[in-house]
Amino acid sequence: MSFFEAHRALLDEAVNACRTRAYWSAFPEIASGRIYGETAKADGEAAFKAMLGKPFDLGQPGGAQVGKEVSPYGMPLGTTYAAADVDAIVNASLKAGEGWAQASIEDRVGVCLEIVDRINKQSFLMANAVMHTTGQAFMMAFQAGGPHAQDRALEAIAYAYEEMNRVPRSVNWTKPQGKGDPIVLDKTWRIVPRGISLVIGCATFPTWNGYPAIFASLATGNSVIVKPHPGAILPLAITVKIGRDVLKEAGFDPNVLMLAPDNADAPITQDLVTHPGVAIVDFTGSPAFGQWVRENAGTDLVFTEEAGINSIVIDSTHDFRGMCSNIAFSLSLYSGQMCTAPQNIFVPSGGIETNDGHKSFDDVAGGVATAIDKLLGDPDRAAAILGAVQNEATAKRVDEARKLGRVVRDSAPAPVAGFDQARTASPLLLAVDAKDDRAWGEERFGPIAFVIRTESTEDSIILAAQSAKRKGAITASVYSTNDRVIDKAADAFARAGVALSVNLTGGIYVNQSAAFSDYHVSGANPAGNACLTDSAFVANRFRVAPLRRQKAA
Amino acid sequence: MSFFEAHRALLDEAVNACRTRAYWSAFPEIASGRIYGETAKADGEAAFKAMLGKPFDLGQPGGAQVGKEVSPYGMPLGTTYAAADVDAIVNASLKAGEGWAQASIEDRVGVCLEIVDRINKQSFLMANAVMHTTGQAFMMAFQAGGPHAQDRALEAIAYAYEEMNRVPRSVNWTKPQGKGDPIVLDKTWRIVPRGISLVIGCATFPTWNGYPAIFASLATGNSVIVKPHPGAILPLAITVKIGRDVLKEAGFDPNVLMLAPDNADAPITQDLVTHPGVAIVDFTGSPAFGQWVRENAGTDLVFTEEAGINSIVIDSTHDFRGMCSNIAFSLSLYSGQMCTAPQNIFVPSGGIETNDGHKSFDDVAGGVATAIDKLLGDPDRAAAILGAVQNEATAKRVDEARKLGRVVRDSAPAPVAGFDQARTASPLLLAVDAKDDRAWGEERFGPIAFVIRTESTEDSIILAAQSAKRKGAITASVYSTNDRVIDKAADAFARAGVALSVNLTGGIYVNQSAAFSDYHVSGANPAGNACLTDSAFVANRFRVAPLRRQKAA
């Protein structure tokens, strides 16, 4: 049975899920031995440890070894990767792409599905690799780095598959000519890929943010060069290795999928982005570099997820404690290092009405602070939620942020058992006035949040939506018992291109973005120009070449 | 009955036609009184004449009158249009766009369909307006400027409608939580337009090339500013006027659709393209200005049709006379001023095999020349095929091209009865060697063609495909009795992103691109970055704003 046939039922389900956007998931998020195999956890850890301190062989052309990853939990990984000359990588990718471009839609999609399936089987290995590059806690690294990322890959494959199939493969075109013979043309169309697709990974969610582009480009026939962040190479190296194995088995040149690793002190990203051989660029990272990529790429086809400033507007609530707990979790999860994490909490100076009676501005700020303290009171639970801080610059940013407002809750280290050297920080919560937009009006990546005193909820909505338009935003959240307020927020955030969540309490958080349902990033504000995943994300990765043959008379 | 309901059956048929791409047309191309009304022809001409020599009132804000159109058939139109300050137009468009953005998909699509329907009823007026701005002969102006352009509009509306409907409007998202209560979110999605869409028209096919962008943008909720070429304002002014009438009737601000006319000596296009208020730019025109637009637009969302050099590869034929006649027509139609018209005819130096026996290189060149002479032998038929030359620069180009090779057939004026001052030119056919790529390797817009002596058909295919990759191409044509040659050409032109026609004879020409079937421009070579029409042409004209509400516990 072909790879395509083997995975076809799953693909059909995925296509259907993209259409309905009801809850669906292909890859179980529960890190259970009953699902992944009794020894999967131990095997994954062992496989990870076996990769440390030695070269990682991808079987790619390449020379000197690069790779200086250091776990945010303290230890250097010591894994190295063969670096390659940019021209050599591009040429190998170009050459490999020729055969890949000729393959049928089904053959390519089948290979992609098989790759994702095999990645799924390595979810525990991936969890370790993601944990010790991004700093995510183990469970999050398993879920977001494993099955959730795999779901995002499958979503992109499903979109690409459906989009290619919207182009009919052939038709008999018969144009009547009154009483004369009709004009008859046999028309066929073929999918033509763009060429080389460059995917630039980030350090916090290398697989989750990288997979949609990798698999959308592969499925549509492009060869892919994955440029990992120098701080998070291993998860994408494992991905590329699995991909190359499957490609080889299916009879393709494995250079259809290549890794282009580098060290931070000798970066190659700019050389790749500006290379005339590159036809598509996908970028996840900072707005500063994102802007450079958009302005300097050698191609017009650039998809970005940059960053934004996410807001919570608090107007009123039926569940004050539930609201505070929910916000506390959103601020704490992965120490605020999610692109979907809130930074700004807008509260009217007159306070709010709640099920526990009126709460002043300070009551609300205090309520959130108390909820954070309670959530992180148990050190083991704190470590499991916060994880570690990926980048030293983020830790430094937290230190410097204290002076930006009145400290409502201070950030503190959050020790992780077994990792004495882990770089950690719990949320810093600051109270500021709306006019202090020098403080809250900039992105403060990491566990830094502001409770902002506004004139009114209307003022809060205006400020948050304006900030989204100006600086970008991926998520917004509103708490209100008043439908008119909710409608007003819905209008304002829709116009600003921000995904809005309303009255979240309990086990669902504004940070979470579900594959097959939530459109991640709108592309309609500076937080990014692309969405994971919609038609626009896939439709331009290939073109259509028409052929019409006149029927012999 | 709403506009949407009134036209819904037609829309459904159009959506279906886009999927199957079998022959379908909504608007009859036959300029018959039985279809368009017994007095339609006379009414259209009278309406056109009534527009000459006076201001054309669009009811837009605006000051001084602009407009210096001169018919390629000789007389100045004398029609003038209120010019408007660029900022004033953008602000009016922005303001009008607010209500339009809030309208339902059905309301917007209904308005678009009604506009196209009313334009159809004015097809004879439009034929006169197109004829006396572009120089097309009357019948072509009727068909390409009327029903064919209307079909292209409907195709774009159908794509936009289907694309918006691929986003579900709402869903109940229920995520199981093992033995606990599921997480339930009510999710809704709304379509958010980009903002202002600027459509820059060309002088040769102002409606056919402009309608897809105008209607794709309108349907997806953007307000549209139409910037006509200063030489072909009237067809788009009529279009905008009809559109504004329908918008007003439907209760919308008519400034959702505005005209931004200018004079060639005081152009405003650059100010519009770089205006920060403009979110989408669609451009049809020269590669030189197209490059400027792509590099300088204030938005990343730029769709272009520029130009290319189209080729015919002659390898062998079962119907030598049919082939020569077909090519002669393609070279003559609208004096070679179609973006789909061939320029380069590649013939092996050893000649070709045909049903009439072996034909030398000179036999083939002579065969085409003779076929042109025969086609244009009758002055009335010649005028009906050639029409007039839109631009003085094109006429000059023909004069200067004579020195680029050996003249096989000279260009000559082709008088048009009743229009003594018409600017006309029949095809100039030159013979050159493959190495003379200084001659044939550049676009020579207008009735200029080269018969190029190559080493072999293989050489012909390589040269033509390379030229397409380097300079762009929209169409290619191959004549061969050998399936292996056809397959080789199909591969080469597909890789170059060129639509290939095979062995055309009789009443179908490589120049013709049918709505609902032929993907016009691939977007995969320098002839343009967009296709009329595919998903990629519409999918990024709007974004999706998600809203999720937690169900109260």
Q: Which of A195, A193, A192, A224 is nearest to A298 (CA)?
A: A195
Mean per-residue pLDDT of chain A: 97
What pLDDT shows up at residue B124?
98
Q: Is the pLDDT of residue A191 over 80?
A: yes
Which residues does chain B have within 8 Å of residue A500's beta carbon, measured at their own beta carbons? 545-548
Tell me how crowded residue B436 is: count the other CB atoms within 10 A of its CB: 16
Q: Which of B491, B203, B244, B239 is nearest to A190 (CA)?
A: B491
Q: Which among B486, B507, B518 has CB closest to A177?
A: B507
Q: In chain A, what percentage of residues exceed pLDDT 70? A: 100
Q: Is the pLDDT of residue A81 over 80?
A: yes
For residue B502, give the amino acid letter. V
CATH superfamily of B310-502: Aldehyde Dehydrogenase; Chain A, domain 2 (3.40.309.10)
Which residues does chain B have within 8 Å of residue A20's beta carbon, measured at their own beta carbons? 168, 171
- pLDDT, tens digit, 9 for 90 and up, residues A279-332: 999 999 999 999 999 999 999 999 999 999 999 999 999 999 999 999 999 999
Q: Kindly state whether A510 is in contact with chain B, defined as any CB-CB distance less than 8 angstroms.
A: no
- pLDDT, tens digit, 9 for 90 and up, residues B400-432: 999 999 999 999 999 999 999 999 999 999 999
Selected for mutation to probe chain A from B21, B186, B296, B533 (highest A CB count within 10 Å) is B21
Tell me the shortest Cα–Cα distance from B160 to chain A, in angstroms: 12
What pLDDT shows up at residue B213?
98
Domain boundaries, chain B: 3-306+531-547, 310-502
What pLDDT shows up at residue B491?
97
Longest CA pairwise span in chain B (Å)? 88
Q: What is the mean pLDDT of residues A49-76?
A: 95
CA gap A395, A335 in Å, rounded: 10
The verdict on a CB contact (< 8 Å) between A501 and B550 is yes
Q: Kindly state whether A95 is in contact with chain B, defined as any CB-CB distance less than 8 angstroms.
A: no
What pLDDT shows up at residue B185?
97
Q: Is the pLDDT of residue B175 over 60?
A: yes
What pLDDT shows up at residue B62?
78
3-state secondary structure of B287: helix
Q: Judge whether A219 and A157 are in contact, CB under 8 Å.
A: yes
Which residues does chain B have within 8 Å of residue A192's beta carbon, measured at their own beta carbons? 494-495, 497, 522, 524
Q: Which chain B residues in 31-50 lie under 8 Å from chain A, judged by CB atoms?
A: none
The verdict on a CB contact (< 8 Å) between A517 and B173 is yes
CA gap B526, A223 in Å, rounded: 21
Q: Is the pLDDT of residue B553 over 70?
A: no
Least reliable range by pLDDT among A501-505, B81-85, B244-248? B81-85
Helix orientation angle between B361-375 and B379-386, rounded to the nearest 10 degrees = 100
The verdict on a CB contact (< 8 Å) between A544 and B535 is no
What pLDDT shows up at residue B552?
63
Assign A61 a pLDDT band (cuts: 50, 70, 90). confident
Token pair, residue A513, equals 């973005």
What pLDDT shows up at residue B478?
98
Q: What is the mean pLDDT of residues A153-167?
A: 98
Three-state secondary structure of B481-512: CCHHHHHHHHHHHHHCCCEEEECCCCCCCCCC
CA gap A325, A368 in Å, rounded: 7
Q: Judge whether B483 and B463 are in contact, CB under 8 Å.
A: no
Tell me the shortest Cα–Cα distance from A27 to chain B, in angstroms: 14
Q: Kindly state whether B469 is in contact with chain A, defined as any CB-CB distance less than 8 angstroms.
A: no
Pick the CATH number of B3-306+531-547 from 3.30.300.20, 3.30.1370.60, 3.40.605.10, 3.30.300.30: 3.40.605.10
Total CB pairs under 8 A between chain A and B: 201
Q: Which of A382, A391, A367 is nearest to A312 (CA)?
A: A367
The whole-angstrom distance between residue A88's C-alpha and the CA centroid of its chain comes to: 29
Q: Is the pLDDT of residue A497 over 70?
A: yes
Classify A74 in phi/psi space as left (phi over 0), alpha (psi -120 to 50) or beta.
left
What pLDDT shows up at residue A552?
63
Q: Kindly state whether A173 is in contact with chain B, defined as any CB-CB distance less than 8 angstroms.
A: yes
Q: Which chain A residues in 287-326 lie under 8 Å from chain B, judged by CB atoms?
A: 294, 300, 302, 318
Assign A62 a pLDDT band (cuts: 50, 70, 90). confident
Q: What is the mean pLDDT of residues A112-130?
A: 98
- pLDDT, tens digit, 9 for 90 and up, residues B474-498: 999 999 999 999 999 999 999 999 9
Asked casually if ipTM beats, i.e. exceeds, 0.90, the reply is: yes
Element (H or E) spanning B114, and its range? helix B105-121
CA of B113: how far to CAs of A229, A370, B27, B107, B192, in Å? Answer: 49, 58, 12, 10, 20
What pLDDT shows up at residue B63?
80
The verdict on a CB contact (< 8 Å) between A506 and B168 is no
Q: Which of A432, A418, A377, A405 is nearest to A131 (CA)?
A: A418
What pLDDT shows up at residue B291?
94
Q: Judge whether A479 and A459 are in contact, CB under 8 Å.
A: no
The verdict on a CB contact (< 8 Å) between A543 and B552 is no
- pLDDT, tens digit, 9 for 90 and up, residues A404-454: 999 999 999 999 999 999 999 999 999 999 999 999 999 999 999 999 999
Three-state secondary structure of B355-413: CCEEECHHHHHHHHHHHHHHHCCCHHHHHHHHCCCCCHHHHHHHHHHHHHCEEEECCCC
Q: Which residue of A has its CA nearest to B483?
A: A549
- Beta bridge mates, B448: B428
